Amino acid sequence: MNPKVAFDLKLSQGKRLVCGIDEAGRGCLAGPVVAAAVVVDYSVMPDFDVDDSKKLSPSERKRLFNKISSSCHWAVFAASWKRIDEINIRNAAIWAMIKAYSCLKIRPDVVLIDGNMKLSVSDITYNIIRGDARSFAIGAASIVAKVVRDRLMERYHLIFPEYNFSQNKGYPTRYHRRMLQEVGPSPIHRRSFRGVGFKEEKR
């Protein structure tokens, strides 16, 4: 048996509907943080494997996203850069996770959450450190969150091409930081993040 599936089934103690929750974009300088909740029905075993989305290529994530979409129920929710600035990134990620879970049309038996963020969403909830690499359901959620957020950032690239969001997706690459110094932040940058809310004076 797939070890990630076995991990989920052990925690669920025979219950079949397992929800994984994860987010994408916490470390970015721009754009939203996106949370995904994915419900896997283990009455039918998945015929594919997943992994931490950060370890996968864009083409692999797209292929697995299509597999997940055709075999699992899922929902996503985004916390905007404005909300991140208002309540901080951790609280915004928790808020988006709770909202994603609330958007599910079916209720799982067990909820598995990546990391140590506590969510009051179900009677049976487990926090799993490095869950996106250990749990099938959380790994699936990490892929859905990443693919959805990347697509959003590719749309923002069309509006703000100078930051190259289509490539860096808002993460702090050297080019991205240089453009922040040269032209300053865009409307979708997180002003509360270090290195964002300024424009370096020209000498």
Give the whole-angstrom CA distance, residue 140 versus residue 120: 21
pLDDT, position 120: 81
pLDDT, position 152: 98
Q: Which amino acid is at 130?
A: R
pLDDT, position 201: 37
pLDDT, position 124: 87
Query: Cβ contacts of residue 180 below 8 Å, gap of 6+?
Result: 29, 163, 189, 195, 196, 198, 199
pLDDT, position 197: 67
Give the whole-angstrom CA distance, residue 138 versus residue 35: 11
Domains of the chain: 3-158 (3.30.420.10)
Q: Is 26 helix (H, G, I), strand (E, B) or coil?
A: coil
pLDDT, position 198: 52
Rounded mean pLDDT for each run of 10 residues along the chain, 203 residues in total: 93 93 97 98 92 90 96 97 97 97 95 91 89 96 98 98 97 96 96 75 34
Give the whole-angstrom CA distance, residue 38 versus residue 146: 13
Give the whole-angstrom CA distance, residue 178 versus residue 199: 10
pTM (predicted TM-score) = 0.94
Give the whole-angstrom CA distance, residue 126 versus residue 52: 18
pLDDT, position 26: 96
Q: Which H or E run contains 132?
A: helix 131-134
Q: Sign of dihedral through CA atoms 14, 126, 113, 74?
A: positive
Give the whole-angstrom CA distance, residue 171 versus residue 194: 13
Q: Are 73 and 44 spatial neighbours (Cβ–Cβ below 8 Å)? A: no
